[in-house]
Chains A and B, each alone.
Chain A
Amino acid sequence: MSFLHILSWIAFVGLAVKAGSFLISYIVSIKNPVASKDLYNDTGLSAYRQLNFWNYSVIVWYKILLYATQAYVALLLTRLLSRLNITRPFHADVATLLQRISFFILVVWGIAMVHNIHIAIVDKLYGITSDYIPGDFLFIAGIVYVFAQMFKRGVEIQSENELTV
């Protein structure tokens, strides 16, 4: 469990750095369009910058929001793992955190879908292609939500068991 805790912290730091790098690169590229070519780990966005600044800005912001939300999910996971007690696992806080995680994974899916639609429209109109973000997040959000509901029931059963004399 401590290994998972460390892993989730690494994921949080990595995603936060990724979101921050995108943001800083974007700020630099506002004044210096050439910088958009070297935008963090993604050189494909410079074509959007040349086409239209607002299109480029919106697409970059999708990515910043996406990574920031993913970082928040990782942060929630670290909180969940620090509160999780295997000997007495069903705690109301854990159930709430699970539900919140599933909601934010759904938000990530929403951002990914809006991003993909935007990319597809630009592709159709101007022929600029870029990588699509996979839509698996909806499935993951659904699974986590089911676990959250099971946990909620577990909390009820555990409290009932503890109050049985």
Chain B
Amino acid sequence: MPIVVNVDVMMAKRKMSLNELSEKVDLTLANLSILKTGKAKAVRFSTLEALCKALECQPGDLLEYTPEKG
């Protein structure tokens, strides 16, 4: 998938644990794990909003486009 979710990078920058983020954005650890491992096929705007609010960042800080090789 050419879209990379940089949640772990922002978490490290904010020094926030997965449990803490899970509580703040009201997402299960399983769903956060799907997001972190790049298995997610879609992200709801409400989730993105909650993540941006909790991590004090912009959507562009969380999502990155890297073209596929070949």
For residue A160, which residues in chain B have a CB less than 8 angstroms away from its CB?
Answer: 41-42
The range of chain A's interface size is under 10
For residue B47, which residues in chain A have a CB less than 8 angstroms away from its CB?
Answer: 165
Knowing that A165-B27, A165-B31, A165-B32 touch, tell me 5 more A-B residue pairs with CB under 8 angstroms: A160-B42, A163-B39, A165-B40, A165-B42, A165-B44
For residue B42, which residues in chain A have a CB less than 8 angstroms away from its CB?
Answer: 160, 163-165
Minimum CB distance partner of B7 in chain A: A165
**Would you call B9 an interface residue if the criterion is a C-beta within 8 Å of the partner chain's C-beta atoms?**
no
A-B residue pairs in contact (CB < 8 Å), sample of 12:
A160-B41, A163-B34, A163-B39, A164-B40, A164-B41, A165-B31, A165-B34, A165-B35, A165-B40, A165-B43, A165-B44, A165-B47
Q: Number of residue pairs across A and B with beta carbons under 8 Å?
A: 23
- Checking B27, B32, B41 against A163 with a beta-carbon cut-off of 8 angstroms, the contacting residue is B41
For residue A163, which residues in chain B have a CB less than 8 angstroms away from its CB?
Answer: 34, 39-42
